Structure 1
Amino acid sequence: MFFGGDPFEHFAHGHGGGGGRARRGPAEDVDTTKLYETLGIEKTVDEKEIKKAYRKLAVKHHPDKGGDEHKFKEINAAYEILSDPEKRAKYDKYGLEGLEDGGGPGGASADDLFSMFFGGGRGRRGSAGPRRGEDVNHPIKVSLEDLYNGKTVKLAINRQVLVGEPKMCSTCDGQGVVVELRQIALGMVQQIQRHCHDCEGEGYIAKKKKERKVLEVLVEKGMKHNQKITFRGMADEKPNMEPGNINFIIQEKEHETFKRKGADLLVSKALSLNEALCGFAWIIKHLDGREVVIKSKPGEVIKAEADGGKPFVKIVANEGMPSKGNPFVKGNLYVVFRVDFPSDNELNEEAVKSLKTLLPNPAMEVEYDEETAEIVHLDTADVKNFGKGGVQSHDSAYDSDDEEGGPQGVQCQQS
């Protein structure tokens, strides 16, 4: 269920012991709400509501959908605990400390859980360790060919790095803000908080320089639009903060031949009536450079449309996109057909006679009296104009004289 293996492997810091200690009951400040807050639910909800909240958040924050991987792991860990009645009961009574001795998801210890949800080991929850800097997102335009075949791209970035050890700002005592008092009237003082100018609101002062770094960005086979390629800790360095990540966001370019949805590809093909009835052969150049010949089977008829007025579609199995992580599993290639009928001047009288003889279900001869029956022919039309025929009437004072008082707005005088 976890994304990318053990969800706690990046968060264990080896904080001191706790294993094997006898549980003496919940501490006074034990937290028993964090997991519920992670899933956005109340403590009184049932298992069905827990699962519903988890599915909604998992889809929203899944890394394959552009979500944050750490947040996704928190959601999974919270669900693993709260969906297990025994673990949920321990958590509700003892908090994360109740999941000692590897009782957490994937065998994680209480220290691992504290590290994930509070940024450090127990006893340091809200203020443990340095804060993490903001992530930097860069869009990277990738062709469908590169998403099919995979590609490594070298990209240069400019980042800010620290020179030497940062020092705490004495002006704001490392808070990044200073408080000023202003007298606004006799006996009245206003307290104003502003960013510290000496450290630019960072709380620490350090020398900085620009660094140019070349990153090798691996575009894996089967990657999708808006997926992330993450380089951890490669964003700007800031004093007393962990560097954020640099994320390259896949932006799939439009292709002139193929349309993509998931692992499936789609192409459109126009056929003449002759090809639709008698067979066709068609060569396409696939995304890996192969020439693929798509050929109709003997006696196969390509229809102008499918049942219900839908487009007529066929597929070539396993000729779609490779799947990310398992490129040997591929989607399908869908072919949407359009049949082009001959125009009025392309069929002469002789050709029509031949077609009547060769094609099934010829038109039946109808009997009518030429002197009394009216023969009409068809003109080109647009169904959008249906309902607009005839004289379009407008409201008029003369539409009806049956209303009491005669036509509205007209006065008659008798002489």
Structure 2
Amino acid sequence: MFFGGDPFEHFAGMHGGNGGGGSRRSGVAARDVDTTKLYETLGVDKNASEKEIKTAYRKLAVKHHPDKGGDEHKFKEVSAAYEVLSDKEKRSKYDKYGLEGLGDEGGGGGGPDDLFSMFFGGSRGGRSAGPRKSENINHPLKVSLEDLYNGKTAKIAINRQVIVGESKMCTACDGQGVVVELRQIALGMVQQLQRRCAECGGQGYCATRKKERKILEVHVEKGMQHNQKITFRGMSDEKPNMEAGDINFIIQEKEHDLFKRKGADLLITKTLSLNEALCGFEWMIEHLDGREIAIKSRPGEVIKPEASSSHPFVKIVPNEGMPSHGNPFIKGNLYVLFRVEFPLDGELTKKKVYELKKLLPRPAMDISYDEEKVEVVHLEQADVKNFGKGGAVNHNNDDSDDDEEGPGQVQCQQS
């Protein structure tokens, strides 16, 4: 495949029958598998509803709970059966393929071997767990915020390896994927080395392959989020004696010039002049779906420089955020973070200052004092980072106390 991925194991073998490890689930479904044991454990019919299964479990759990003198093994059986049958996906797999169809999703946190041991008194022995799954391929897909808002379908071409004909077990390693070599390193001393089989590439099976080009239609749904996956099952490279893995397109949300996103909410920052903050404002934005929206303050509404200490002043436009994924008719909110820009030095004339004093609340009160006795000072620009750095630099502060006598110390002189 033309992009990389992360491998993981997936067990798909089924209970019963004598099929080999290379068969797929479609062939397993036809085997004679037990799909009734879990229902019998709970004492319900195979067509039982979720409510009936839950009711039966509660009764049996109370009856067999170890704390109430019940059988601990029976209690574990009941709990494991309920964990499988209460999950729609696990129940569907069990109904088709039996306990082995659950793979490594078995009840009680264990795999299918644990379930076999619990319900049938032993493991499956030599029976195969079915074919493994080849590596999943993860491919980043960069998507604009507009496309995540409106939805989009992208056609992406992939090149994958497919198997031609049947896979055959490698005769060089007998299907083990590794070969063992003995090397004499001294008289009477032999070293055993194990290396990957060069004939099959460590897969244990050999097959003829060819490249296949596929066009995938990737549907980016409304409201999808950063790092969310769009999965195409079984579209990864085919490997001998393995089920084909999946291709996952990972949404990578691009940064937007105007909007910032968190969940289903959007955020924009708006800088107002002092005039706009006090007397009102309105401005136009183009939303992610192309609509033009005029945002306007209410009559008499005042925008503050900040809501509280270290917190900006924020308001919202309800229901103008992102569509919710899975329910695009419900949208988040559009947050507007305000910043108030005060006039620069020298912009206000004495006349304007006089007029503002009359209009604005709480004007500065004139105070009376004797200018010959009171010192008048004015403010200058400063940086709070320099707090504590004022005054003259005293280099003597760096001297060690051992070099000087501190106040109050007494010297003793011996004759």
Match of 2:353 in 1: 352
1:235 aligns with 236
1:151 aligns with 2:176: no
Structure 1 match to 2:10: none
Specify the code of the residue in structure 2 equivalent to 1:164: G
Equivalent-residue separation in structure 2 for 1:100 and 1:290 (angstroms):
51
Q: Which moved more, 1:345-354 or 1:92-101?
A: 92-101
SS at match of 1:345: coil
Please say if residues 120 and 129 of structure 1, whose CA atoms lie closer than 8 Å, have aligned partners that are also in contact. Answer: no
Secondary structure of 2:103's aligned partner: helix
Q: 1:226 to 1:85 in 2, by over 3 A?
A: farther
Partner Cα separation in structure 2 for residue 196 and residue 252 of structure 1: 43
2:210 and 2:216 mapped to 1: Cα distance?
A: 19
Contact 1:96 1:113 in 2 (8 A): no
Whole-angstrom distance in 2 between the partners of 1:22 and 1:296: 64
Please name the residue that 2:129 is paired with.
128
State the match for 2:332 in structure 1: 331
Preserved contact between residue 272 and residue 340 of structure 2 (Cα < 8 Å):
yes
Determine whether 1:362 maps to 2:344. no
Question: Structure 1 CA distance, aligned partners of 2:84 and 2:318?
Answer: 46
Higher relative contact order (CA 8 A, sep 6+): 2
Number of matched pairs: 340
1:247 Cα deviation after fit:
0.6
Measured in 2, the distance between the counterparts of 1:101 and 1:310 equals 47
2-structure distance, mates of 1:136, 1:24? 41
User: Post-superposition shift, 1:328?
Assistant: 0.6
CA distance in 1, matches of 2:152, 2:37: 52
Given that residues 134 and 239 in structure 2 are in contact (C-alpha distance below 8 angstroms), is that contact kept between their aligned partners in structure 1? yes
Q: In the alignment, what sits opposite 1:116?
A: 102
Counterpart contact for 2:34–2:98, Cα < 8 Å: no
Q: CA RMSD in A?
A: 3.4
The alpha-carbon deviation at position 403 of structure 1 amounts to 3.9
Structure 1 residue runs of 4 or more that deviate by more than 6 Å after TM superposition = 21-25, 86-91
1:168 touches 1:203 (CA, 8 Å); kept in 2?
yes
CA deviations 1:149-176 (Å, max 9, x no partner) are 1000011111111111111111111111
- The 2-side partners of 1:144 and 1:254 are apart by 7
Task: Tell me the TM-score normalized by structure 2.
Answer: 0.74
Which residue in the other structure is 2:259 paired with? 258
Question: Is 1:290 the equivalent of 2:291?
Answer: yes
Deviation, 1:195, is 0.8
Comparing 292-301 with 122-131, greater Cα deviation is found at 122-131
Q: Map of 1:10-409 to 2, 5 A cutoff? A: 14=29, 16-18=32-34, 85=61, 92-93=73-74, 99=81, 103=85, 105-106=87-88, 107=91, 109=94, 112-118=98-104, 123=124, 127-394=128-395, 395=397, 402-403=405-406
Residues 91 and 99, structure 1, Cα contact 8 Å, conserved in 2: no
Say which SS state the counterpart of residue 309 (structure 1) adopts: coil
CA separation in 1, counterparts of 2:172 and 2:150? 56
Structure 2 CA distance, aligned partners of 1:386 and 1:173? 77
Gaps of 5+ in 2: 1-24, 42-56, 105-110, 117-123, 410-415
The percentage of aligned residue pairs carrying the same residue is 60
Q: What is the TM-score of this pair, normalised by structure 1? A: 0.74
CA shift, 1:137, in A, is: 0.6
Q: State how far apart, in whole Å, the 2-side matches of 1:285 and 1:184 are.
A: 77
Shift of the 403–22 alpha-carbon distance from structure 1 to 2, 3 Å rule, reads closer
Q: How far apart are the structure 2 equivalents of 1:215 and 1:165?
A: 26
Deviations 1:353-390 (A, max 9, x none): 11111111111111110111111111011111111111
**Relative to structure 1, is the Cα distance of residues 271 and 98 closer, same or farther in structure 2, using a 3 angstrom cutoff?**
closer
Distance 1:91 1:103 in 2: 20
Contact between 1:269 and 1:337, CA under 8 Å: does it hold in 2?
yes
Q: Which amino acid is 1:115 matched to?
A: G
Change (3 A) 1:132 1:349: same
Deviations for 1:296-322, whole angstroms, at most 9, x for unmatched residues? 000000001112231000011111111
Structure 1 contact 19–100 (Cα < 8 Å) conserved: no
One-letter code of the match for 2:358?
A: T
Instruction: Give 1:282 shift.
Output: 1.0
Please say if residues 35 and 99 of structure 2, whose CA atoms lie closer than 8 Å, have aligned partners that are also in contact. no
Q: Is the 8 A contact 1:166 1:204 kept in 2?
A: yes
Paired with 2:126 and 2:347, the residues of 1 have a C-alpha distance of: 82
Shifted more, 179-188 versus 293-302: the winner is 179-188
